[in-house]
Amino acid sequence: MRIAVIGTGYVGLVAGACFAGAGQDVTCVDMEPGRVAALRRGEMPLYEPGLEALVRRNHEAGRLRFTTDLPAAVAASQVVFIAVGTPMGASGGADLQYVLTAAGQIGRALRHYTVVVDKSTVPVGTADRVHAVIAQHTEHAFDVVSNPEFLKEGAALDDFLRPDRVIVGTRSERARQLMRELYAPFVGDGRALLFMDPRSAELTKYAANAMLATRISFMNDVATLCERVDADVEQVRQGMGLDPRIGSGFLQPGIGYGGSCFPKDVRALMATAHDVGLELDLLKAVEATNARQKRSLLTKALRHYGDLSQRTFAVWGLSFKPRTDDMREAPSVEIIEGLLTRGARVQCHDPVARDAARRCFADRVSYASTCYDAAEGADGLFLATEWSDFRHPDLRRLWRLMRQPVIFDGRNALDPEEARAAGFTYFGIGRG
């Protein structure tokens, strides 16, 4: 099957590479010549474990191509995925300008029956809008399908190749059969391929992410309560997670969620509800808790030190989660900006996000090659991302390197008793 994927960001590049890996003929389209040239050389625009090898292998085999020629790619394809960005607009809803622009370009390029797939995260009713735009530019038959992605950054290839569910929103039997054939290699051993109407598919994506964000914020509220009543949130979390009605997923307390999905999708769902006269008060509280939680370590530091000016702090972890270089709405950004605003110096380290950090902070912070280099001479250490590299540090070495042995553990990645036994003042999240 010939497939075109418009957009070579996170979703488009992963989808294109995985479809090519399953034997499909895939052309990825991007309007930036520099990005296309880099991809042809095997250079990735983002970090995702395993993605570079998969792209290189399928590009060399001729199953995966990169181009700026959208009309040619669309005209030659049976299925066209729209995987462009949907940034947050001024009102909090998704900005669909790139999706609708792509729809118009697709309409002008169609030469035969084609299934057009919304892979971008889009609000309810977008499939109808995309259909209307394409119809303005073509007389050829086509169907528009909603196929939301459920990829976790850092585990995207596994999520795509072994999905827990694939959701396809369509009312067309012809499109249904084509999508069933396309996804057969990934759902052939019983994993769910779930068909529904397009609007339900669009809403499912937002509702799923909002639910996960809600669990995170709820546990962060519980963690704050634990600190007030001298309880241990880790013990509470374990006790809750053993209840099969609750489960243990997304109950880890910390310094809040970030990234490209949860913040944007929660706000988009709230905006969609507002547009139809409904206020989602629960999600307003989820956002408020998350905003407070991102400030929690800085609040602890201010209580401990009083004045942060002229002090030096180490920050371990910059990406919003491990196994990615994505710093969009990462809690580390708020921590570092808060420290800099109060006159502190920052020495930071992240295994893969240094380039992203330079785009964010330029030369306002220093970038260390190792976590121990970042800690040298520091008055305190902020652990902002739970990379495996940071879970079992040499505490004796760390104690010798730091000017003041104080740890602010934003992910409860360290054992408080071990840290205190090694001579550290330890602050975690909800640890009593």
Strands 312-316 and 380-383: parallel
Amino acid 204: pLDDT: 97
- What tokens were used for 215? 């669990």
Q: Tell whether 186 and 42 lie within a shared domain.
A: yes
The rounded mean pLDDT for the chain is 96
- In our burial notation (b when 16+ CB lie closer than 10 A, e otherwise), range 248-260 reads eeebbbbbbbbbb
Residue whose C-alpha is closest to residue 99's, from 210, 173, 209, 202:
202
Q: Tell whether 404 and 307 lie within a shared domain.
A: yes
Q: Tell whether 223 and 371 lie within a shared domain.
A: no
Which CATH number do you get for residue 44? 3.40.50.720
Q: Tell whether 144 and 251 lie within a shared domain.
A: no
Q: Which of 57-61, 87-91, 118-122 has the lowest mean pLDDT?
A: 87-91
Of 292, 327, 351, which residue constitutes the final position of a domain? 292
pLDDT at 384 over 90: yes
Read off the pLDDT of residues 203-247 as tens digits, 9 standing for 90 and up: 999 999 999 999 999 999 999 999 999 999 999 999 999 999 999
Q: CA-CA distance, 245 to 205, in Å (whole number)?
A: 22
Read off the pLDDT of residues 60-78 as tens digits, 9 standing for 90 and up: 999 999 999 999 999 999 9
Mean pLDDT, residues 20-45 taken together: 97
Q: Is residue 325 part of a domain?
A: yes
pLDDT at 357 over 80: yes
Q: Is residue 99 part of a domain?
A: yes
Q: Is residue 265 part of a domain?
A: yes
Q: Tell whether 252 and 117 lie within a shared domain.
A: no
Read off the pLDDT of residues 286-296 as tens digits, 9 standing for 90 and up: 999 999 999 99
Check residue 389 and report its DSSP letter: G
Mean pLDDT, residues 4-20 taken together: 97
Judged by DSSP in three states, 196 sits in: strand
CA distances from 206 to 67, 114, 216 (A): 31, 27, 16
Q: CA-CA distance, 296 to 292, in Å (whole number)?
A: 6
Catalytic site residue from 18, 28, 261, 360: 261
Q: Is residue 239 part of a domain?
A: yes
Answer whether 66's CB lies under 8 Å from 33's CB.
no
Q: Is residue 51 part of a domain?
A: yes
Mean pLDDT, residues 187-196 taken together: 85
Q: Give the chain's domain count.
A: 3
Amino acid 89: pLDDT: 87
Q: Tell whether 397 and 313 lie within a shared domain.
A: yes
Range of the domain at 382: 295-427
pLDDT at 125 over 80: yes
Q: Is residue 148 part of a domain?
A: yes
Q: Which of 65-74, 183-192, 263-272 has the lowest mean pLDDT?
A: 183-192
E strands within 254-389? 312-316, 345-349, 366-367, 380-383
Name the pLDDT band for 111 (thresholds 50, 70, 90). Answer: very high
Q: Which residues pair with 429 in a beta bridge?
A: none
Q: Tell whether 182 and 214 lie within a shared domain.
A: no
Which CATH number do you get for residue 214? 1.10.1040.10
Amino acid 190: pLDDT: 64
Of 239, 259, 292, which residue constitutes the final position of a domain? 292
pLDDT at 248 over 90: yes
Q: Is residue 200 part of a domain?
A: no
pLDDT at 87 over 80: yes
Q: Tell whether 239 and 382 lie within a shared domain.
A: no
What percent of the chain clears pLDDT 70, i.e. is strictly above it?
99
- What tokens were used for 366? 């220093």
Read off the pLDDT of residues 269-279 as tens digits, 9 standing for 90 and up: 999 999 999 99
Q: Tell whether 325 and 281 lie within a shared domain.
A: no
Q: Is residue 432 part of a domain?
A: no
Q: Tell whether 242 and 335 lie within a shared domain.
A: no
Of 244, 269, 292, which residue constitutes the final position of a domain? 292
Q: Tell whether 233 and 302 lie within a shared domain.
A: no
Residues across the chain: 432
Mean pLDDT, residues 43-56 taken together: 96
Answer whether 148's CB lies under 8 Å from 111's CB.
no
Q: Tell whether 273 and 251 lie within a shared domain.
A: yes
The verdict on whether 348 is a catalytic residue reads no
Answer whether 10's CB lies under 8 Å from 46's CB.
yes
Q: Which of 88-102, 298-312, 375-389 has the lowest mean pLDDT?
A: 88-102
